[in-house]
Amino acid sequence: MNTPAANDSAPSLGDLGFSPEQTQGSAADQAQLDKRSHMLKIHQRWGLATTVPMIATLLVAPSNKSNTSARTLHAVLGGITGDMYFTTAFYAIRAPRIPGTKDKGPIRVHKILAWIHGPGMILTPILGAMADEQRNAGQKVHGIASFHGPVASITIAAYLASILAVSIKF
Amino acid sequence: MNWKLIVAVTVLTLPAIGHADGHWGLESSTLTYHISHPLHQIDGISHAARGQGTCHEGQCDFLIAAPVKSFDSGDSNRDLHMLQVTRGGQYPIVTVRTRLPESSSASSAISADLDIQFAGQTVHYANVRLEQTGEGKLRRITGIVPSTVSDFKIDPPSLLAVPIKNEMPVKVEMTWRSE
C-alpha cells in the first residue's frame, strides 16, 4: 500500500538540520550510560538490602535497663547496617555523571534526603558508642549521647523516605 | 550567441525539472510514549522532532526524527535509564519514514506504513491509522503508533524487580505546513 522506501527525493537527516555529531552515536557514550545504570542498579539492590539490618537494629534497640549483650547485638547490627549503607552510597557517588543532565523529579528528593541520612549514619554510631561508654561506666546516658535514639530515628525515617521517593509516585 | 543562451536556460531549468513537486515542513510536534508499571504510569514527551516531506510524481516521502534524549518523563534519572536501555548513546536519533500518496493531504483519515528506526532496530508498522484535520497550508496529524518494548529488542526496565509492561504506545501530534 504506502510502502516507505528510500529514494533520491526522500529527505535525509541532514536535510532536517541534524549535524553528523548529533546523528552518529558513540560506543563510549553508550558505555558510560551502561556503567551508570549498572552501578545504580547495584546501589538500588544494596539500598533495599540495607533496610533489613537497619530495621533489625532498631527492633533490638536496648532500653534504659539493658544488659551488655543486648547492647552488643545492637552495636553489631548497627555496624553491619553502616557497612552496607556506605557500600550503597559508594555506588551512587561513583556512578558516572552524564554531562548536560539536570536533576529533575523524585531523584531530587532522593538526593536531598541523602544530606539528612548521610550525616545521620555517621553521627548515630558515634553517639551510640558514647552512650555505651557512659552505660559501661555505670552512668545514666547524658549530654549529646542522649541524642543517639532521636538521631537514629530521623536517619531511618529519611532513609526510608528516600527509597519511597523513587519507588512510589506521589 | 544563441547557443550560450540555450546553455544558460538549460542550466537554470534542469534543477527545477528534477526538483520535487511539493514540500512539507514539520511546524510543531508532540510525541508521547507511554509505559506502564504497577507502581507508575509514565509519559515521556518530546517537542524536539523535526520533519520534512518531499513530493514527486504523486508520492510524498516523509522523514520525522527526534533525539532520543529529548524525551522528558519528568524524572531525569528515569530518562537517563531510558536512554541507556534504548541504546541512545549509540543510536541517538529515532526516525520515522513513510511514503504517502500526495492525494492523502485531502483525506481526514490516513493509513500509513511506517518504518521506525530506534534503539538500533528498524521496525515496520503497517496500516497505522492517522487522523488529519486542517485546511490551506496547515495539516494537523494525530495518531497512535502501537509499538512495544520487544519490537525494538529492549530489555524491559524494572523497578523493585517488577518489569514494565511490553506495550509502549507512542501518541503522535504534528502540525505540517505545505511550503
A169 touches B: beta carbon within 8 Å: yes
Q: What does the pLDDT read at residue B4?
A: 62
Q: What does the pLDDT read at residue A169?
A: 58
A19 touches B: beta carbon within 8 Å: no
Q: What does the pLDDT read at residue A9?
A: 75
DSSP state of A96: P
- CA-based nearest residue in chain A for residue B70: A101
* DSSP code per residue over B23-91: EEEEEEEEEEEEEEETTEEEEEEE---EEEEEEETTEEEEEEEEEGGG-B-S-HHHHHHHHHHTTTTTS
Question: Which pLDDT band holds residue A8 (cuts at 50, 70, 90)?
Answer: low
Mean pLDDT over A141-164 rounds to: 96
Q: How far apart are CA A79 and CA A119, in angstroms?
A: 15
User: Most A CBs within 10 Å: which of B17, B24, B63, as the mutation test of the A interface?
Assistant: B63
Exposure string of B148-158, with b = 16+ CB inside 10 Å and e = fewer, is: ebebbebebbe
Chain length of chain B: 179
Question: Which pLDDT band holds residue A2 (cuts at 50, 70, 90)?
Answer: very low
Report the 10 Å Cβ neighbour count for A166: 20
Q: Is the dihedral of CA A88, A91, A94, A97 positive or negative?
A: negative
Q: Would the CB atoms of B89 and A31 count as touching at under 8 Å? A: yes
With both helix axes pointing from N to C terminus, report the angle between A68-94 and A106-136 in degrees, rounded to the nearest 10: 150
Q: How far apart are CA B166 and CA B171, in angstroms?
A: 16
Coil, strand or helix at A16: coil
Question: Which pLDDT band holds residue A1 (cuts at 50, 70, 90)?
Answer: very low
Mean pLDDT over A143-152 rounds to: 96
Q: Is the dihedral of CA B88, B90, B93, B99 positive or negative?
A: negative
Q: What does the pLDDT read at residue A23?
A: 92
Q: How far is CA B151 from CA B7, B130, B146, B156, in A?
A: 53, 20, 10, 11
Three-state secondary structure readout of B102-156: HHHHHCCEEEEEEEEEECCEEEEEEEEEEEEECCCCEEEEEEEECCECHHHCCCC
A13 has a pLDDT exceeding 90? yes
Q: Would the CB atoms of B113 and A2 count as touching at under 8 Å? A: yes
Q: Would the CB atoms of B159 and A167 count as touching at under 8 Å? A: yes
Cell 533495599 -> residue: A48
Cell 536533576 -> residue: A103
Q: What does the pLDDT read at residue B66?
A: 97
- For the record, the C-alpha cell of B42 comes out as 509514565
A 65-104 residues with CB < 8 A to B? 98, 101-104
Number of A/B CB contacts below 8 angstroms equals 128
**Per-residue pLDDT tens over the stretch A84-110:** 999 999 999 999 999 888 999 999 999
Q: What does the pLDDT read at residue B10?
A: 46
B37 touches A: beta carbon within 8 Å: no
Q: Is B86 within 8 Å of B74 (Cβ atoms)?
A: no
A41 touches B: beta carbon within 8 Å: no
B76 touches A: beta carbon within 8 Å: yes
What is the percent of chain A where pLDDT is above 70? 94
Categorise residue A39: left if φ over 0, alpha if ψ from -120 to 50, beta otherwise. alpha
**Per-residue pLDDT tens over the stretch A122-139:** 999 999 999 999 999 999
Opening angle at CA A97, ends B91 and A114, nearest 5: 135
One digit per residue, pLDDT tens: chain B, 179 residues?
A: 465 655 454 444 444 444 457 899 999 999 999 999 988 899 999 999 999 999 999 999 999 999 999 999 999 999 999 999 999 999 999 999 999 999 888 889 999 999 999 999 999 999 999 999 988 899 999 999 999 999 999 999 887 778 999 999 999 999 999 98
Q: How far apart are CA A89 and CA A118, in angstroms?
A: 9
Coil, strand or helix at A66: coil
Q: How far apart are CA A20 and CA B97, in angstroms?
A: 19
